[in-house]
Chains A and B, each alone.
Chain A
Amino acid sequence: MRTFEGYRRANGSIGVRNHIIVINTVGELAGLTNKLAGLVPGVIPVVHQAGQSQYSEDSEQTIKTLEGTAGHANVSAALFLGMGSKDPAEGIVETLKKNGHHVHSIIFDKDKSITECLKDGKSWLENAMKRSKEEKTEKADISELIIGLECGGSDAWSGITANPSIGALSDLIVEDGGTSILAETTEAVGAEHILANRAVNQEVSNRFLEIVKRYEQRAKAVGEDIKAANPSPGNKTGGLTTLEEKSLGCIKKGGNSTLMEVIDYAHKPREKGFIFMDTPGYDVESVVGLVAGGAQIVLFSTGKGSPTGSPIAPVIKIGTNPKLYENMPEHIDVNAGKIIDQNYTIEQIGEEIYTKILQVANGESTASEKYKNHEFSIWRLAETQ
């Protein structure tokens, strides 16, 4: 049985990291969030630009994402910075406290000086840091892991080397009782029937077809036709012939397992096994959704070397070609390019990724962690008010 050492939280979940974060509810506080994090060594700033002037669906999505991030198993404690009387920070903190999370909020308002707010924040974070150092790890089974599956900066090799290898890994994790979540609805357009046919029942199948259709319609509403635009002339030069082939290259990150559930952006899966989350193709927003939904580790294939990381989850970079590994060795955690020039098989790289996941779950830093790639952005559905 494959196991790892993790941090058990009050709500029962298990983390592979023990981060202290400071997170803003409104974009106006981005600068002060960075400043406050800088006052206590080791504290991570989780900074985004969304504000209070959002349509309700975006406002709900922002709150859901912030809740999922601050209440994540990889987070020991979270401090929210909010602003004004309508700020959602206090509400989020109240919800998270009910589930046993160590959280607090500081609201910037006319009644208190900024210096005072920063002083309060610093002192809370210092205590949280002290407390986190006393937290011990315990042995946990692989079935408690949720792995996010993502790609970004794809190239002609993504669908041939890295993505099928991630698919092989996904099948192994699912076999061992764990969960993997595939994302990027836009990338499934054209091959949606293939994933829909793999669904556990008609309801899940329909739900999947529905989110793909909704995505296509949203794109059409702003004058984009995903089906007509793909595969692009560049894709064709690279060897891709049809839209089905292009989408298969992406969705094969989910291997061949049965699709158990389709979830909304930043929502937590209720089922175990292979899951699909409705996210955009933009890698930063997609990773943020996967992590807010509970993924403790993210697998990320890249052909061009996208540096996207996460403030709270280790992102394991899988390089698709030997050239990338040669030029950016410090940035790639697993070199799937070995399939091209060293005779490795997809299954062998799948096993290598599994080994890497266990090492990372046990505390080994990924390249994106070493470089502190803390990208954070929330998927917006509408315009700003």
Chain B
Amino acid sequence: MGQKVNAIKLDEKDNVAVALETLKVGETLSIKDGIEEITVLKKIAYGHKVAISSIPNDGKVIKYGECMGIATMDIAIGDHVHVLNVRGLTEEDKSFQKEVY
């Protein structure tokens, strides 16, 4: 089945990937059907998310091709994406989303 992958991107539009095993700092991300080389900046436990594009403060975090939260600070490529740098959507965010989708 080709080279072993260590993360999965669930939708084309996603800016995060999910770690399929615990990733160490400095490790290279390997996603099926590859994307450019990404170095992991923080330890990412399996099942947790890693940024595969940079996400600006107030930018949308996209998983499953949908907006699952809003960045609360700038998130660099390879960074851990979790409760420390992401918040859930407010009712306002949701109505904003209606226009987008």
Residues of chain A at the chain B interface (Cβ within 8 Å): 156-157, 160, 164, 190-191, 193-194, 197, 236, 238-239, 241-245, 248-249, 252, 256, 339-346
Contacts and interface: CB of A to CB of B under 8 A. Distances in A.
Contacts of A164: 10, 64
B48 A239 contact: yes
A341 B8 CA distance: 12
Interface stretch (B34-42, B51-59, B81-89): B81-89
A242 B69 contact: yes
Contacts of B83: 236, 241
Contacts of A191: 66
Contacts of B88: 190, 241-244
A160 B10 contact: yes
Contact of B32 (A157, A194, A243, A345): A345
Interface of B: 1-5, 8, 10, 18-21, 32, 45-49, 61, 63-69, 81-83, 86-89, 94-95, 97-98, 101
Contacts of B19: 239
Contact of A245 (B46, B63, B65, B101): B63
22 contacts: A156-B46, A160-B8, A160-B10, A160-B47, A164-B64, A193-B98, A236-B82, A239-B82, A241-B49, A241-B68, A241-B81, A241-B86, A241-B88, A242-B88, A244-B88, A244-B89, A245-B69, A248-B63, A248-B68, A252-B64, A339-B8, A343-B4
Contacts of B63: 245, 248
B88 to A, nearest CB: 4
B93 to A, nearest CB: 9
A248 B20 CA distance: 18
Contacts of A190: 88
A156 B47 CA distance: 6
A157 B47 CA distance: 7
A269 B4 CA distance: 43
Nearest to A194: B66
B10 A346 contact: yes
B18 A239 contact: yes
Given A242-B69, A243-B88, A256-B65, A193 B2 contact: no
B45 to A, nearest CB: 7
Given A160-B47, A239-B49, A346-B10, A248 B86 contact: no
Contacts of A157: 47
A248 B47 CA distance: 15
B77 to A, nearest CB: 18
A242 B67 CA distance: 11
Nearest to A238: B47
Given A190-B88, A239-B18, 8 more contacts: A193-B97, A194-B101, A239-B45, A239-B48, A248-B63, A248-B66, A256-B65, A343-B2
